[in-house]
Structure 1
Amino acid sequence: MSSMQLSPSISSSSSAIFGQKSFNSRTFRASIALKRSGVCKCVATPEQTAYTTKVARNENLAKLQAGYLFPEIARRRGAHLLKYPDAQVISLGIGDTTEPIPDVITSAMAERARALSTLEGYSGYGAEQGENKLRAAIASTFYKGLGIEETDVFVSDGAKCDITRLQILFGSNVTMAVQDPSYPAYVDSSVIMGQTGQFQKDVEKFGNIEYMRCNPENRFFPDLSSTAKTDIIFFCSPNNPTGATATREQLTQLVQFAKRNGSIIVYDSAYAMYISDDSPRSIFEIPGAKEVAIETSSFSKYAGFTGVRLGWTAVPKELLYSGGFPVAKDFNRIFCTCFNGASNICQAGGLACLSPEGLSAMQDVIGFYKENTQIIVDTFNSLGFKVYGGKNAPYVWVHFPGRSSWDVFAEILEKTHVVTTPGSGFGPGGEGFIRVSAFGHRENVLEACRRFKQLYK
């Protein structure tokens, strides 16, 4: 049984309540007919069944295992609150930011919003690819000197949304590789697109996906010599969930591997601003990457835009299909077909993020979360756990060898009222780990760490 499967269905629990013999394959509604003689006669009538269309369900959706990871965690959190209604639950599970967006950014959004109430400031549909000023600011801020131009940048409503648009771009007839463990949206979107086989419960993997194991033994970078050739390679650095950051040498190996195989890398750099050492912040820092890579990123974890929704994807002109057609042209068509452009108010916020004042404010917020991360790392280190990540990412990857990660999740929730994330939710390579997010108010992080020490001292 998958670690993500839910509890038995309500049909089985209802039979336990009413008894095995109370209901057969159907339920019946009794209607009472009164006879003149005063005798009551019970007439059983079949329950009306719901109308169904003749449209079959997308068989690929049926392959997915239980619910998407984070809604499942939210469901379990809700059940815990029903059990302990007075508990002070602290959420260090989903990577959702908690600190206010800096005023220099929200002021720009408010000004843009107010302008929409004037004839001079009103704007309707914008360019699907984003406003030119923002595209230029993204290119000059994150890709200066790397050969990425503003026309290579597509502004969106977030990296997660772009992952799905990229899957639409690739279609169903491609093969896929992902880090193991990795952000679950990569695998789930591959399944939905029909790129995979069935879920194999014995190994907790989908058929036709190459799972590139990343663990402490290989410094969280896959052994490419034993990695099968695939069309698309999803790669995230700094990694979610492990917090590991690929070195320049490792990313050079990845680019060379993709070139040898004719693959395309989808590089997720959503946490690049958390890097504090000399690790690359963009795949395009690696020579030759523009010929084999796409990069997607987001303002979510930089500026607290998890609810505002603003991101981007860079598709270099040099990236070509096997027949020589530019990938960017097809991605532009996907954008124009599936998307009407990011909110103009959000784009005003994004432009403010990239002003000197905005960049400084974002660095302050990132610094705050990195202090939270260090508190969590120090706590688990003091308790004797093997701890990974936490240096260049807002996630701490804690090892519980020999234990089910869902069991550890349940133990921590039950005994400390703290929500974490089970590592197996990110793939079979995450079994035996939990991810602890550093996104939280300082007092909550300190209190959670106090509870961890009580539990594991």
Structure 2
Amino acid sequence: MAHVNENYGKLPGSYLFSEIARRTAAFAAKHPDADLIRMGIGDVTRPLAPAVIEAMHRAVDDLAAAETFRGYGPEQGYAFLREAIAQDDFAARGVSVDADEIFISDGAKSDCGNIGDIFSVDNVIAVCDPVYPVYVDANAMAGRAGDYDEASQRWENIVYMPTTAENGFCPALPEVPVDIIYLCSPNNPTGTVLTRDQLQAWVDYANECGAVIMFDAAYERFIVDADVPHSIYEVPGAETCAIEFRSFSKTAGFTGARCGYTVVPRALVRGGASLRDMWNRRQCTKFNGASYVIQRGAEAIYTPEGAHQVDEAIAYYRANARLIKEGLEAAGYTVYGAVNSPYIWCKTPEGMGSWEFFDRLLNEAAIITTPGAGFGPAGEGYVRLTAFGERADAERAMERIRALG
């Protein structure tokens, strides 16, 4: 008789965004004519850049002729994209990352979930709180989290590092030994960032104790402040302790096209083993590579015209974030994020819980947000809004929120 992975049975009843979808569907069924404004899930709305579309069309034509047809591609990604990334995302910032340390994938979410394959199940995991749910759930599925306590909304074997307004959204170094540390900057969900000095403290800590930092830089293109690194490898010593995840989803509109990459430096060794070589073996065994057409589209982001077009889309979302932040503050709310990020972290009215405020905004203003409690215990008392919608929707949403009083 086949036995199932019992860790799946320990997961809380519903994935955060599934519950949001359920409540939204229930509201829409009751109010079929409601003008819903979606500011919850961070899905983009700007179309792919023209340079990207043109590159994809050319790639499709390649597949239509025997002379240029491509079958299975390299599991690590095509050299044309890896080399463009090494040059534009790293060398241009004075950072040395070799093309063969870059692994192209179908998105950062997949890699964040799959990276655990190369680590032992008995590693102690540390996460910021609040946190992107995939970091926690993927480790729970693998058996590293132990049991879930409904009362505290915490996993018994995970070390939670509060990342709140009280500590300036910079988590303190763990007081107990940990092995794998998840950091995200710009942060999802809070929209806040870690400075160079703050990241240096984490890098020094990880190198001293032999931990590995999982650094999620999916939103780096939104950074405008000079003292905020776009890559953890801008911090001395990071190449011996950190794995970095990047995504084209939010930066270039690839949420539907699916493409991202992970950097595993050759210098990163634990237990006498090269983590780069282990990840390479994992990918060669379990992954056949991202689509040739999609990778050609991603390559176009690094052309002058492609980069300019992507920057225009980023500027559009930044303006939305600023509009939402200013609108919420004008309505009397305390707001964080939005400056270096597409996310706005809004404190709920006094005494109102995250899901309670979510329901109020949904039922009284037809606005969909994301309850902060879904990102961890320290997210209670907040909701997350995204700037990825249309400008007119952001303007109407702020009008409705002001009208709520």
Structure 1 segment 250-399 matched on structure 2, within 5 A? 250-278=198-226, 279-322=228-271, 324-399=272-347
Partner of 1:77: 24
Q: Secondary structure at the match of 2:6?
A: coil
Larger radius of gyration: 1
Partner of 2:40: 93
Q: Secondary structure at the match of 2:269?
A: coil
Structure 1 segment 98-117 matched on structure 2, within 5 A? 98-117=45-64
Task: Summarize deviations over 1:137-174 as a string: whole Å, max 9, x none.
Answer: 11111111312110100000000000122011214221
Task: Summarize deviations over 1:12-52 as a string: whole Å, max 9, x none.
Answer: xxxxxxxxxxxxxxxxxxxxxxxxxxxxxxxxxxxxxxxxx
Deviation at 1:402, TM superposition (A): 3.0
Paired AA for residue 241 in structure 1:
P
Paired AA for residue 347 in structure 1:
Q
The question of whether the paired residues in 1 share the 8 Å contact of 2:11 and 2:140 is answered with yes
Q: Distance in 2 between matches of 1:159 and 1:82?
A: 34
The question of whether the paired residues in 2 share the 8 Å contact of 1:213 and 1:429 is answered with yes
Paired AA for residue 402 in structure 2:
K
Paired AA for residue 318 in structure 1:
A
Q: Secondary structure at the match of 1:265?
A: strand
Q: Distance in 2 between matches of 1:431 and 1:202?
A: 13
Partner of 2:369: 420
Q: Distance in 1 between matches of 2:310 and 2:176?
A: 39
Matching residue within 227, 244, 251 for 2:192: 244
Paired AA for residue 291 in structure 1:
T
The question of whether the paired residues in 2 share the 8 Å contact of 1:165 and 1:334 is answered with no
The question of whether the paired residues in 2 share the 8 Å contact of 1:266 and 1:295 is answered with yes
Partner of 1:44: none
Q: Secondary structure at the match of 2:360?
A: helix
Q: In the alignment, is residue 132 of structure 1 matched against residue 76 of structure 2?
A: no
Q: Secondary structure at the match of 2:244?
A: strand
Paired AA for residue 161 in structure 1:
S
Deviation at 1:340, TM superposition (A): 0.2
Q: Distance in 2 between matches of 1:414 and 1:288?
A: 50
TM-score scaled by structure 1?
0.86
Gaps of at least 5 residues in structure 1 are 1-53
Q: Distance in 2 between matches of 1:125 and 1:393?
A: 36
Structure 1 segment 442-453 matched on structure 2, within 5 A? 442-453=391-402
Partner of 1:197: 146
Which segments of structure 1 move beyond 3 Å, counting only runs of 4 or more? Answer: none
TM-score scaled by structure 2?
0.97
Paired AA for residue 440 in structure 1:
G
Deviation at 1:404, TM superposition (A): 1.1
Paired AA for residue 281 in structure 2:
R
Q: In the alignment, is residue 120 of structure 1 matched against residue 71 of structure 2?
A: no
Deviation at 1:380, TM superposition (A): 0.8
Task: Summarize deviations over 1:331-388 as a string: whole Å, max 9, x none.
Answer: 0011011100000000000100111111111111000000000110011110111100
The question of whether the paired residues in 2 share the 8 Å contact of 1:171 and 1:193 is answered with no
The question of whether the paired residues in 2 share the 8 Å contact of 1:276 and 1:392 is answered with yes
Q: Secondary structure at the match of 2:270?
A: coil
Deviation at 1:223, TM superposition (A): 1.4
Q: Secondary structure at the match of 1:230?
A: coil
The percentage of counterpart residues that share the same residue type is: 42
Matching residue within 380, 398, 401 for 1:431: 380
The question of whether the paired residues in 1 share the 8 Å contact of 2:210 and 2:270 is answered with no
Q: In the alignment, is residue 65 of structure 1 matched against residue 65 of structure 2?
A: no
Task: Summarize deviations over 1:375-408 as a string: whole Å, max 9, x none.
Answer: 1001111011110000000000001243210111
Q: Secondary structure at the match of 2:187?
A: coil
Q: Distance in 1 between matches of 2:389 and 2:175?
A: 37
Q: In the alignment, is residue 221 of structure 1 matched against residue 170 of structure 2?
A: yes
Task: Summarize deviations over 1:192-217 as a string: whole Å, max 9, x none.
Answer: 00001111122110110011100011
Partner of 2:103: 154
Deviation at 1:288, TM superposition (A): 0.4
Paired AA for residue 433 in structure 1:
Y
Deviation at 1:298, TM superposition (A): 0.5
Deviation at 1:184, TM superposition (A): 0.4
The question of whether the paired residues in 2 share the 8 Å contact of 1:210 and 1:227 is answered with no
Paired AA for residue 2 in structure 2:
V
Paired AA for residue 434 in structure 1:
V
Q: Distance in 1 between matches of 2:19 and 2:114?
A: 24
Partner of 1:12: none
CA RMSD in angstroms comes to: 1.0
Bigger mean CA offset, 192-201 vs 311-320? 192-201
The question of whether the paired residues in 2 share the 8 Å contact of 1:310 and 1:350 is answered with yes
Q: Distance in 1 between matches of 2:14 and 2:151?
A: 19
Bigger mean CA offset, 397-406 vs 410-419? 397-406
Paired AA for residue 132 in structure 1:
A
